Amino acid sequence: MKRVILFLLTNIAILVVLSVVVSVLGLDRALYQNGLNLGALLGFSFIFGMGGAFISLAISKWMAKMAVGATVIEKPRNNTESWLLNTVHNHAQAAGIAMPEVAIYDSPEPNAFATGPSRNNSLVAVSTGLLRAMNADQASAVLGHEVSHVANGDMVTLTLIQGILNTFVIFLSRVIGYVVDRALHRDGEGGYGIGYFVTVIVTQILLGILASIVVYWFSRRREYRADAGGARLAGTANMIGALQALQRSVEPEHMPEQVAVLGISGVRKGGLRMLFASHPPMEDRIAALREGRHFTGAGS
């Protein structure tokens, strides 16, 4: 859960910063010198939308480590750290990816997450709570789940989806800002005023939150596939056992909200709140494993 929330918040923050920079440099003004040029605006939105998403991806490992205070294992200091490195190495080798960085972060909440800009430049982190709450077979299944996220290219695909959504968020926010600003300047004076700037920032944040519904939907679908990957790497019974252990645990309260999307653990949510859930209900994931439903595609 951590991965998605952190990525979304970082992306929104980057878009806001880019908007401020664009306004300060006067690029917006150039777009509207001869009225609203929708073609030029769409091209501008695509460049900055994709750029913002890929900046978020590029700093995803650093942001995740900072958010949870994770310590990367350089040299194992005990048997647990040695086991973690060996298990992730074996899973990564079986999945056909480069060895990820492996980190531990202090949290009573049993959880883990994976992030990074590519299959060969990734991070897998586990909480101290997970290491205490699970046996070796269950923890291995969780690590297999996270390695599968990396092997499946979930963060890169997420970035592409977010980039497309960013394009429309930037485009629509500026169209709305232009309309509002024209309404405030009924005398027909050129340029734009504070109404445009405020409207763009506010609508960009609001539209960004609405766009996150699509990202959350994608995240929920990919969890099934990562569960199937964890089952292949560590055994279906162990993957089911790990999910059941998480289901019995206390609902996440200690994990920073910014990184909740990246984790393996999910919380049952109903109604409209489910639109903003990064993970499916745990019972549905367990049932999918038992029934062999792998949800191999984002739209399947």
- Does 184 reside within a domain? yes
Residues 88 and 129 in one domain: yes
User: Does 136 reside within a domain?
Assistant: yes
Q: What span, in angstroms and rounded, lies between the C-alpha atoms of 109 and 246?
A: 9
- Each residue of 157-214: pLDDT tens digit? 989 999 999 999 999 998 998 888 878 765 555 556 778 888 888 998 899 889 888 9
> CA angle, corner 139, sides to 136 and 141, nearest 5?
110
**Are 77 and 182 found together in one domain?**
no
Residue 251 has pLDDT above 60, yes or no: no
Tokens read off for 24: 């300060």
Residues 132 and 228 occupy one common structural domain: yes
Any domain includes 213: no
Instruction: Please provide the DSSP assignment of 219-251 as one string.
Output: HHHHHHHHHHHHHHHH-HHHHHHHHHHHHHSPP
Identify whether 101 is a catalytic site residue.
no
Q: 141 with 242, same domain?
A: yes
Residue 22 in domain: yes
Domain co-membership, 140 together with 162: no
The pLDDT tens digits of the residues spanning 87-133 come to: 999 999 999 999 999 999 999 989 999 999 999 999 999 999 999 99
The residue range of the domain holding 161 is 2-62+156-205
Residue 91 counted as domain residue: yes
Last residue of a domain, one of 205, 239, 269: 205
- CA distance linking residue 240 with residue 56, whole number of Å: 32
Render pLDDT for 258-298 as a digit per residue (tens, 0 to 9): 444 445 555 455 566 778 787 888 899 999 999 886 654 43
* Overall number of domains in the chain: 2
Q: Which residues of 15-45 are buried (b: 16+ CB within 10 A; e: fewer)?
A: bbebbeebbeeeebeebbeeeeeeeebeebb
Same domain, 111 and 179: no
- 165 and 254: one domain? no
For residue 127, being part of any structural domain is answered with: yes
Q: Which of 146, 189, 257, 283 is catalytic?
A: 146
Same structural domain, 119 and 236: yes
Are residues 99 and 9 part of one domain? no
241 domain residue, yes or no: yes
